[in-house]
Structure 1
């Protein structure tokens, strides 16, 4: 199986970040904060077969959740799966034949959901899928493009990043028609995209070199501009979590030869601040860099100005950052949440895990 290079598909593609376990000096001395109310709980869902992962999750309202991924991963009979929650409970939903993994899920409302799914070789088959409230069907993407990431803005526009030949693209779909929004003359790929309105879109991805500029672009409704990322090493933008024009979170990996873990970055409308995740040995609130192998985790805004993070180098804890301080929460099981999302206008967080289970925090 060879899914696209993205934050969620990276582990399934068989690639790994390999580095020595390094400890560095503390990156900050933030005090420990009181955790938000509510506990993380495991939610019963239809069981998946064999080795399974839930790589994309969307929750457009308090009554509906869509969690997609794969079961029997790495096996000849691996297949894409989609679990759906309605007021009646959780069910499995049929997917088009021949797909082995769902990499991303985005939803505007319960009868308008989009997903990216791949066949055994993503270069040969990557499908854009749509749920209309009754079934999943394939929808044509931008012609000649291999899609990597999708996002739905608040006006209903569907944004997609992709690769077309030797170029990287961003396209937008409105009223059933695709329009190219950005073309970059290199195939490095933009594997993360987030949008508020049609005039506030962020796209990021993997740097062309370790010391080149970090590929982070912003669209203001008139033009795309490359956003400076002040660091010695280029960063791989793994995930972008849009809350408001002056409240955007970036989960990123420094492309340093020392293989540091992912870091959390915040845009306040005028500047970035960087925040290192605590390592497993740190007391609550202290921040220390540490190396990481394998799959890279996920983040979700909490609706109160902070963000939740799940990291593979510390699966015994879920981490919460309120903008100043870190707190640690115990997950239902010591595994990584591969995908996380917040129900709009609530503090409810849903997560899909590396073992095909679903968690909820309320």
Structure 2
């Protein structure tokens, strides 16, 4: 990919690989694994109309705390001097645009456990000069205090509602947690380029990952409530951990890009509580479940649990399809249009998945009709 978001810093689901032409072939790998096998849930992907956005638009973050509410964030007038951050809200009466603090160019991450308690990370045109932590109280977005002297990369809410954040400061990459309005640093990694991926199931089960350089160790860490442990990745070349999807302590997915000299495409990894398995993505022309070498020029994409033991994958290597992995084999489904979903999220306790795309549109996959306002019928 040669495009880059308005915020040039790392974000959990959007980044570039330096703009160089990175060509290579992926080695083949086993499609078997220890994830609980499950066929795709019934339903299909559909475009959901949202308020119009100006110019080129992209959505980098999405949260759906319940079946009736969705928050999607990103940028409009992307790549332009007047690029502006945008946050869209869907409630029982349809979609609205939420006013934001002035001067923000892009929203990079969104998290919510309740429709009246949401968090977002947003940046100005120069992320190193301004990166804000935003909070939604059900009525408006306002700037909240982040960890002192930290530029935030990604955020996550654990099962208790505590807010976790990765960032970088003068001492290196950090992980901090906010409880009772107070931030506490839990990890500092000197000389680290940053941790752009984070997922938490509980305060005793937190994962963070970031960029691995060449043959150095892959930066993947796990917190058990007391201490952080570096998790062995077991490969010759380091990986860039792009996204982590936590389903359960023995069901964690990782979307990772190997820092191999030939720059192969990203791979899907699974943690079953005791070991990792790797599952390579099928190419556009591969038979379902098959794997062949493919070329790569960059990456933008996302993953989300399907609620039944499998995972959805969106990748620019095959924009004609959204991929589903059930723990043993791959299947394909057709998206509303042939673009990459930059952010995907599952509604808790359901199989409904929402997605924000590289062109500022929103998709939904569910076996159930979209809930509407009982008074107006607005979707």
TM-score category by the smaller chain?
A: over 0.9
Query: Is this contact kept in 2: 1:190–1:203, CA < 8 A?
Result: yes
Give the whole-Å Cα distance in 2 for the aligned partners of 1:157 and 1:6. Answer: 20
Cross-structure match for 2:3: none
Query: Is this contact kept in 2: 1:158–1:174, CA < 8 A?
Result: yes
The reply to whether residue 130 of structure 1 matches residue 130 of structure 2 is no
Q: Please identify, of 17-26 and 261-270, the stretch whose mean Cα deviation from structure 2 is larger.
A: 17-26
Cross-structure match for 1:20: 23
Query: Is this contact kept in 2: 1:7–1:296, CA < 8 A?
Result: no
Query: Is this contact kept in 2: 1:205–1:237, CA < 8 A?
Result: yes
Q: 2:340 aligns with which of 336, 339, 357?
A: 336
Give the whole-Å Cα distance in 1 for the aligned partners of 2:26 and 2:342. Answer: 25
Cross-structure match for 2:217: 213
Structure 1 residues 248-275: Cα deviation after superposition (integer angstroms, max 9, x where no partner): 0000000011111110000000000000
* Superposition CA RMSD, Å: 1.7
Cross-structure match for 1:111: 116
Unaligned runs of 5+ in 1: none
Cross-structure match for 1:68: 73
3-state SS of the aligned residue for 1:58? strand
Cross-structure match for 1:37: 42
Q: What displacement does 1:136 show?
A: 0.3
Q: TM-score, normalized by length of structure 2?
A: 0.91
Cross-structure match for 1:348: 352
Give the whole-Å Cα distance in 2 for the aligned partners of 1:271 and 1:289. Answer: 26
Give the whole-Å Cα distance in 2 for the aligned partners of 1:76 and 1:245. Answer: 44
Give the whole-Å Cα distance in 1 for the aligned partners of 2:19 and 2:163. Answer: 31
Query: Is this contact kept in 2: 1:117–1:127, CA < 8 A?
Result: yes
Q: 2:125 aligns with which of 120, 123, 126?
A: 120
Give the whole-Å Cα distance in 1 for the aligned partners of 2:39 and 2:144. Answer: 46
Q: 1:164 aligns with which of 166, 169, 174?
A: 169
Q: What displacement does 1:285 show?
A: 1.0
Structure 1 residues 266-299: Cα deviation after superposition (integer angstroms, max 9, x where no partner): 0000000000000111011112342322342000
Equivalences, count = 358
Cross-structure match for 1:179: 184
Give the whole-Å Cα distance in 2 for the aligned partners of 1:26 and 1:219. Answer: 29
Q: Please identify, of 169-178 and 158-167, the stretch whose mean Cα deviation from structure 2 is larger.
A: 158-167
Q: Please identify, of 111-120 and 20-29, the stretch whose mean Cα deviation from structure 2 is larger.
A: 20-29
